[in-house]
Structure 1
């Protein structure tokens, strides 16, 4: 019945952005830390807790829940057998024995938490979910740095170092198979970020090296989402290298993964990147068809589904238009490119600093190709100086813009305006 639902547990899970499956995994890992053997808690078990069907989990699960949440079971909405659900627990100050019990529970939680970072009774360190969570926090920082700066060698090196750190944990102590798989997944995720930073920085040989390592790690992890990211990035790498056949082949591997049938947003991204390759291949009809399919898949996607941070941080309506801009620009359809550029800029989230600079530079190219040098130059000067002078892809696009502007409008006010503007970069650089 609705009145028996466990609102306290649901509230904790919401506050910590944890799904039922993730809580089940965390509980099983905590059981392994406490007993030496992984638990059998399933997603269905958590749903039974949330619905109120199971009001008092078995002892091992209660202890593990308390370890994971750092709260006593009663604070999570669970009710000991024989006690009515509506009966409040007495305040600790009214019952010395109860206070003693709470103190022991708190001490047990602290000891169990510390066990994840300390040797167990046999002198071997236990690698657990706390290690995974720390790596996930580092991964979120790498993603955020990429969206602000992009393409920097420092980002590539940091991501590669974190991949090595995740791998080193494999040999740092004992762990359940689930934790080991997640360590491989974390290493693959970091290596894929190093790969992307190298792609964005036009360091293609380095990107290929990272790609091969990331692919091997992803296979060891069994993580469909990170496999998709790596193969999708491989398609982008080959597209930037001007190799459409290889780009199609790599992107097809991503698009044929099971996750694209389970989540339409992954399907949409795969189609959007396919569209960009169609642009490089000068396939106008394939380009338009892929855009319509990507849009339809995005519209079908469940907005409340839980997805990895690397996907939710960048793929949205703005990114779909950004890829359409790239595709139409490569295909020579400059009015369509300009249209998608404006749609992208109007939808970009504030943290997408790198994407805004790239889109603005591409918009200037589309406008110049339509014979509007004054408008194009006014657009190009809006690219921030930091991106214009430090981001390899943006630098390359603006150098090409400068050459095209001088070739098509020599001696014009637009050329003079552009020359004066770029001079300020040299003075402040």
Structure 2
């Protein structure tokens, strides 16, 4: 049996800093996003690819790997069964965006041709069942985000689903209500792609998703998705250290009439305003914003209809998480610690990403109060996956390590932290 090494895959892994173990873990996570179940690969699986012992992985594995690489399997040196190897396209020649546009264009063209073909079938009728199917996919995206957060695979999947929703506009006839819902679905997917990019600190990409999401939301007329997009924009600018822009974007969300109709939306807008004001070092306004956010939450009618993305994350724990962020930025560390404990005690089990962020912020608050041992124990409770795969958590933990070494240089606590982070890197 010919077992020529897969040098194309080896070169790609070297270029992108993947070991056999870390690529196996990345593919397993990508398979979970695709299928709902994590893959079962390990480092030996990837070594078999590199050695040429496996020339054509199973279909789900290939798709997961292609999503990570942004390249077809053949460009990574794999050879379909029954074919002889041919020179693959180089990574420089393969444009992932062009690939996506070609696939999307092909789907749209096929749908249009099927609708227009005379004597074969009448044009397809696009209905609420199509919208419901997209909403189910959106719920899956939201769930993946809360488990993993910030991953490129989530961003790419959400963007592709936005294109799928738009393709349906041209795939047949539909009522105006259905068309508005399709635009709202496309805007919702695009806003999830935007959020994944923000969470992964890919801000230029997030801005591009934001512009598309805003245009789609306007065509849909959906107030809730407009709120989500502008509220995300405020959070993005807050993370970028631009509080004036953050307040302006968040004010667009807060001024939508939806916030006057539903106190829960008003509460979220006020809580995010409080987080921005904390970054801007306005103590009085921060305190007032969170008092108003709490009052609005208490007034909210739990029986009101709300979209899945709102129900999935905004509750007392999220309000406390935003208060934690604000008081940490203000340097009010005892209050930040108070809100951290409140948040962590109330977080729902599916909020995996939020738990890692709140735990890391708690460690910062404890260290700033001189409790180095307690802070280090808290930081060590963050999972290795979040510490190495989530850009925001990884950066906060790096900052924690730097602050710990500055606070207690050469101490046994600092040494313990150094050894612990080394184990994270080995696991990755």
On whether the aligned pair clears a TM of 0.5, the verdict is: yes
In the alignment, which residue of structure 2 is the partner of 1:256?
Answer: 255
For residues 147-166 of structure 1, the C-alpha deviation after alignment (integer angstroms, 9 at most, x for no partner) is 00000000000000000000
Q: Give yes or no for the alignment of 1:414 onto 2:418.
A: no
* 1:286-301 aligned within 5 A: 286-301=285-300
In the alignment, which residue of structure 1 is the partner of 2:267?
Answer: 268
Q: Give yes or no for the alignment of 1:199 onto 2:214.
A: no
Q: For residues 356 and 318 of structure 1, what CA distance do their matches in structure 2 show? A: 10
Q: For residues 223 and 167 of structure 1, what CA distance do their matches in structure 2 show? A: 16
Q: CA deviation at 1:423?
A: 1.7
In the alignment, which residue of structure 1 is the partner of 2:5?
Answer: none
Q: CA deviation at 1:123?
A: 1.6
Q: For residues 123 and 238 of structure 2, what CA distance do their matches in structure 1 show? A: 47
In the alignment, which residue of structure 2 is the partner of 1:245?
Answer: 244
In the alignment, which residue of structure 2 is the partner of 1:25?
Answer: none
In the alignment, which residue of structure 1 is the partner of 2:308?
Answer: 309
Q: For residues 230 and 341 of structure 1, what CA distance do their matches in structure 2 show? A: 26
Q: For residues 279 and 307 of structure 1, what CA distance do their matches in structure 2 show? A: 28
* Aligned partners of 1:150 and 1:197 also within 8 Å: yes
Q: Give yes or no for the alignment of 1:335 onto 2:334.
A: yes
Q: CA deviation at 1:283?
A: 0.3
Q: CA deviation at 1:247?
A: 0.5
In the alignment, which residue of structure 1 is the partner of 2:358?
Answer: 359
Q: For residues 253 and 135 of structure 2, what CA distance do their matches in structure 1 show? A: 23
* Aligned partners of 2:246 and 2:276 also within 8 Å: yes
Tell me the matched-pair count: 312
Helix, strand or coil: the match of 1:420?
A: helix
For residues 27-70 of structure 1, the C-alpha deviation after alignment (integer angstroms, 9 at most, x for no partner) is xxxxxxxxxxxxxxxxxxxxxxxxxxxxxxxxxxxxxxxxxxxx
In the alignment, which residue of structure 1 is the partner of 2:317?
Answer: 318
For residues 224-278 of structure 1, the C-alpha deviation after alignment (integer angstroms, 9 at most, x for no partner) is 0000000000100111111111100000000000100110000000000000000
Q: For residues 422 and 293 of structure 1, what CA distance do their matches in structure 2 show? A: 40
Helix, strand or coil: the match of 1:421?
A: helix
The runs of 5 or more residues in structure 2 that have no matched partner are 1-113
Q: CA deviation at 1:427?
A: 2.1
Q: For residues 356 and 307 of structure 1, what CA distance do their matches in structure 2 show? A: 24
Q: Give yes or no for the alignment of 1:162 onto 2:161.
A: yes
Q: Which runs of 4+ in 1 moved over 3 A?
A: 118-122
Q: CA deviation at 1:414?
A: 1.1
In the alignment, which residue of structure 2 is the partner of 1:284?
Answer: 283
* 1:95-174 aligned within 5 A: 123-174=122-173
Q: CA deviation at 1:125?
A: 0.7
Give the alignment's TM-score, normalised by structure 2: 0.72
In the alignment, which residue of structure 1 is the partner of 2:234?
Answer: 235
Helix, strand or coil: the match of 1:130?
A: helix
Q: CA deviation at 1:119?
A: 6.7
In the alignment, which residue of structure 1 is the partner of 2:396?
Answer: 397
* Aligned partners of 1:119 and 1:126 also within 8 Å: no
Q: For residues 425 and 159 of structure 2, what CA distance do their matches in structure 1 show? A: 32
Q: CA deviation at 1:303?
A: 1.0
Q: CA deviation at 1:131?
A: 0.5
* Aligned partners of 1:235 and 1:249 also within 8 Å: yes
* Aligned partners of 2:115 and 2:171 also within 8 Å: no
Q: For residues 333 and 178 of structure 2, what CA distance do their matches in structure 1 show? A: 50
Q: For residues 417 and 314 of structure 1, what CA distance do their matches in structure 2 show? A: 34
Q: CA deviation at 1:122?
A: 6.7
Q: For residues 392 and 425 of structure 2, what CA distance do their matches in structure 1 show? A: 18
* Aligned partners of 1:367 and 1:375 also within 8 Å: yes
The runs of 5 or more residues in structure 1 that have no matched partner are 1-117
* Aligned partners of 1:127 and 1:179 also within 8 Å: yes
In the alignment, which residue of structure 2 is the partner of 1:100?
Answer: none
* 1:172-191 aligned within 5 A: 172-191=171-190
Q: CA deviation at 1:389?
A: 0.6
In the alignment, which residue of structure 1 is the partner of 2:424?
Answer: 425
Helix, strand or coil: the match of 2:313?
A: coil
Q: CA deviation at 1:426?
A: 2.0
Q: For residues 173 and 273 of structure 2, what CA distance do their matches in structure 1 show? A: 42
Q: For residues 182 and 175 of structure 1, what CA distance do their matches in structure 2 show? A: 11
Q: For residues 208 and 177 of structure 1, what CA distance do their matches in structure 2 show? A: 29
Q: CA deviation at 1:284?
A: 0.4
Q: For residues 346 and 122 of structure 2, what CA distance do their matches in structure 1 show? A: 54
Give the alignment's TM-score, normalised by structure 1: 0.72
Q: CA deviation at 1:413?
A: 1.8
